[in-house]
């Protein structure tokens, strides 16, 4: 009996001692709750320019007239691989629609004598950098810029609205292209041409009876393109979203676009090359993702 | 032993042997209850301490309260997006905003984006917190970036420091000559750090993503016109797009005239 009592007392004393020792938990709790604050500071410190992968697509050499291959068109079937784009319906994802439309357009453009450069012709394209995985958006812009094409069309698809939506860059037009165009705003010099191309495509689509919406949007990597560039977004033909997969509908859209590009190829003008007196950008890749501008 | 228990359990006649045992038991009982009282008192003390400490730490961690104690309701204009027609329409609200500008921006955006998470929203966006933090920088932004020493400068390795730490700063130039310059004196750049938990659930599409950004920019411009430019981060890092389309690397102007499709210099065909 006594042994039992003693053991109970011993247990209680231990509990007492533990209770006394417990304030150590304060320190631990403190450290834990200070964690987020430190993280927040880390977040602000992490805002440093990240040199993004800068494909040397822009010719950094001495000022020379800007080259345009009038019979070359770049098609960028947006998304692909792990990036599915928008989920358009239970059975349709954007990346498949854009690739299907690109194949149709390529066939029609090739038939009209164009050379077509595609940024992907399968679900996912490997990056030229070994081990870098899939082609990034910057890689795609690099591929497009190397082609010196008469038009660069970024093909997208959307389940909302009907017909075709055309978007051009939201950048302000620049008077000309500097010797080393800044990566994130290279499209600025091409805005007037992109705008004219938009008009050409809009006329052709309207003539074909395809409902059309035009607008401006900042869609990566359009602002880095050094060619007349547009986002061409395919929307359903009617209320049924899966109608965008219909062959006849896609053919109709592709035919209108190919016809417009044929006219466009004779009109396209390169922007002026600005003299290299303009201040050289010391890091076009990091450019406006950086922390500032030289005063 | 058995006998003792028997006797102890029943009120026994007053034998001196038994009374000694009872006395011992009484003392033990006193000690026992004293200890219990001690334990309870210490428990209460500990709980009180813990509570006080937790409050102190919470106060430390939360140095930017969303609603300052002095916040008063004021009228704000939200530029609400509608997916149906791709437009923004202004709507005024009465909400309490804190005093500090970056806390105001965050509170405004929290309010705006929470509205889109409502079930009948015209521009459905994921629920949950969206904005981690907002930083404000006066324009023009002048900055320097750490860069490795030019090769020639390496000759004097006098310091003997490890090469990674031997760096100079190089001025960062903007890629856009118009970017990062104020339109009005006192103009500011807001850096909005979004949460990936929210961004990763944002619906994908040119228009839906663009509308989210335009709604944020328009709302900031309507209520805090000194914020002229906006940049976005996700979890403190740059990210290419919001959900596969809208450019998050760009510096966005908040003012409509050079940002959005307000016609003007738009020779393209109108909406059909
Ligand atoms: Zn897309």
Q: Which domains are seen in chain A, by residue range?
A: 73-264 (3.40.630.40)
Kindly list the distances between the CA atom of residue A248 and the CA atoms of A105, A120, A231, A253, in Å, as whole numbers in the listed order: 13, 23, 21, 9
The CB-based long-range contact list for B137-140 (8 Å cut-off, 24+ gap) reads: B137/B188, B137/B189, B137/B191, B138/B182, B138/B186, B138/B187, B138/B188, B138/B189, B139/B180, B139/B181, B139/B182, B139/B187, B139/B188, B139/B189, B139/B228, B139/B229, B140/A292, B140/A293, B140/A295, B140/B180, B140/B181, B140/B182
Sign of CA dihedral A29, A30, A33, A39: negative
The separation between CA A17 and the C-alpha centre of its own chain, rounded to angstroms, equals: 63
Closest CA to A77 of A146, A139, A124, A128: A124
> Is pLDDT of B50 > 50?
yes
Measure A73 CA to nearest chain B CA, in Å. Answer: 21
Question: Nearest by CB to B250, which of A87, A212, A218?
Answer: A218
Most confident of A51-55, A228-232, B44-48: A228-232
Query: Average pLDDT of B156-175?
Result: 48
Instruction: Give the number of other Cβ atoms within 10 Å of residue B163's Cβ.
Output: 10
Q: Which of A211, A212, A293 to mutate to test the interface with B (most CBs of B within 10 A)?
A: A293
> Is pLDDT of B54 > 50?
yes
CB of A98 closer than 8 Å to CB of A79: yes
**pTM for the whole thing?**
0.67
Instruction: Read off φ and ψ for residue A168, nearest 5 degrees.
Output: -120, 175
B204 C-alpha vs ligand 1 centroid, how far in Å?
7
Contacts of B178 in chain A (CB under 8 A): 172
pLDDT, tens digit (0-9, with 9 covering 90-100), for A238-283 = 999 999 999 999 999 999 999 999 999 999 998 888 765 444 343 3
The three-class DSSP label of residue A36 is helix
Q: Where are the alpha helices (DSSP H) in A147-246?
A: 191-207
* B148 near A CB under 8 A: no
Which residues, numbered 157 to 196 in chain A, qualify as contacts with chain B under a Cβ-Cβ cut-off of 8 Å?
A: 158-161, 165-168, 170-173, 182-185, 188, 195-196
| DSSP code of residue B167 | E
Could you report the predicted ipTM of this complex, rounded to two decimals?
Answer: 0.71
Which residues, numbered 220 to 249 in chain A, qualify as contacts with chain B under a Cβ-Cβ cut-off of 8 Å?
A: 220-223, 231, 233
Sign of CA dihedral B95, B96, B99, B105: negative
Using DSSP bridges, classify how beta strands B252-253 and B227-234 pair: parallel, antiparallel or unpaired. Answer: antiparallel
Q: Where are the alpha helices (DSSP H) in A46-119?
A: 94-111
pLDDT at A295: 30
Closest CA to B191 of B238, B135, B125, B252: B135
Query: Average pLDDT of B21-44?
Result: 86
Q: Where are the alpha helices (DSSP H) in B128-229?
A: 196-199, 206-223
Contacts of B207 in chain A (CB under 8 A): 158, 160-161, 165, 215, 217
Query: Average pLDDT of B20-47?
Result: 86
Instruction: Read off φ and ψ for residue A193, nearest 5 degrees.
Output: -70, -40
- The C-alpha atoms of residue A141 and residue A124 are separated, in whole angstroms, by 15
Tokens of B214: 């335009």
* B149 near A CB under 8 A: no
Q: Which of A4-13, A231-240, B30-39, B119-128 has the lowest mean pLDDT?
A: A4-13
Instruction: Give the number of other Cβ atoms within 10 Å of residue B25's Cβ.
Output: 15
pLDDT, tens digit (0-9, with 9 covering 90-100), for A137-188 = 999 999 999 999 999 999 999 998 899 999 999 999 988 888 788 889 999 9
In chain B, where the domains are located: 18-61, 67-142+181-262
Query: Average pLDDT of B67-72?
Result: 59
At B262, the pLDDT band (50, 70, 90 cuts) reads: very low
B158 C-alpha vs ligand 1 centroid, how far in Å?
54
* A104 near B CB under 8 A: no
Measure A165 CA to nearest chain B CA, in Å. Answer: 10
């Amino acid at each position: 009996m006594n042994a039992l009592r003693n053991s109970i007392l011993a247990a209680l004393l231990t509990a007492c001692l533990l209770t006394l020792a417990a304030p150590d938990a304060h320190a631990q709790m403190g450290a834990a709750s200070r964690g987020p604050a430190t993280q927040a500071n880390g977040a602000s410190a992490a805002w440093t320019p990240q040199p993004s992968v800068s494909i040397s697509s822009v010719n950094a050499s001495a000022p020379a007239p800007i080259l345009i291959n009038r019979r070359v068109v770049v098609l960028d079937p947006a998304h692909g691989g792990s990036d599915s784009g928008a989920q358009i319906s239970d059975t349709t994802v954007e990346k498949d629609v854009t690739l299907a439309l690109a194949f149709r357009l390529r066939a029609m453009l090739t038939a009209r004598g164009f050379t077509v450069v595609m940024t992907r012709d399968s679900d996912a394209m490997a990056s030229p950098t070994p081990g870098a995985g899939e082609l990034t958006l910057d890689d795609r812009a690099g591929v497009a810029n190397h082609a010196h094409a008469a038009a660069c069309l970024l093909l997208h698809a959307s389940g909302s609205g009907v017909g075709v939506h055309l978007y051009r860059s939201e950048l302000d037009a620049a008077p000309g292209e500097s010797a080393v165009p800044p990566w994130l705003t290279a499209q600025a010099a091409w805005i007037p041409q992109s705008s004219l191309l938009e008009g050409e495509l809009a006329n052709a689509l309207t003539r074909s009876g395809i409902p059309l919406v035009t607008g401006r949007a900042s869609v990566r990597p359009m602002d880095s393109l050094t060619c007349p560039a547009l986002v061409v977004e395919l929307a359903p033909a009617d209320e049924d979203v899966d109608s965008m997969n219909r062959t006849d509908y896609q053919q109709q859209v592709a035919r209108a676009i190919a016809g417009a590009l044929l006219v466009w190829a004779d009109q396209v003008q390169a922007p002026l090359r600005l003299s290299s007196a303009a201040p050289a950008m010391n890091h076009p890749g990091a450019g406006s993702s950086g922390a500032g501008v030289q005063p | 032993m058995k006998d003792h228990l028997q006797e102890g359990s029943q009120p026994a006649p007053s034998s001196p042997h038994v009374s000694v045992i009872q006395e011992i038991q009484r003392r033990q009982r006193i000690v026992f209850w004293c200890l219990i009282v001690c334990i309870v008192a210490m428990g209460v003390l500990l709980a009180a301490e813990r509570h006080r400490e937790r409050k102190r730490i919470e106060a430390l961690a939360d140095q930017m309260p969303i609603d300052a104690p002095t916040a008063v309701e004021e009228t704000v204009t939200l530029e609400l997006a509608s997916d149906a027609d791709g437009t923004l329409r202004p709507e005024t609200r009465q909400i309490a905003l804190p005093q500090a500008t970056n806390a105001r921006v965050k509170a405004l955006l929290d309010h705006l984006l929470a509205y889109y998470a409502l079930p009948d929203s015209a521009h459905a966006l994921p629920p949950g917190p969206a904005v981690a933090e907002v930083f404000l920088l006066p324009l023009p932004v002048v900055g320097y970036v750490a860069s490795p020493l030019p090769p020639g400068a390496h000759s004097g390795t006098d310091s003997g420091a490890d090469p990674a730490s031997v760096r100079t700063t190089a001025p960062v130039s903007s890629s856009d000559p118009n970017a990062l310059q104020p339109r009005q004196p006192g103009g500011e750049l807001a850096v909005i750090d979004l949460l990936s938990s929210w961004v990763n659930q944002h619906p994908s599409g040119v228009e839906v993503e663009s509308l989210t950004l335009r709604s944020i920019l328009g709302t900031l411009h309507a209520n805090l016109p000194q914020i002229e430019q906006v940049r976005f981060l996700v979890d403190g890092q740059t990210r290419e797009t919001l959900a596969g389309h809208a450019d998050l690397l760009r510096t966005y102007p908040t003012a409509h005239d050079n940002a959005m499709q307000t016609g003007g210099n738009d020779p393209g065909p109108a909406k059909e």
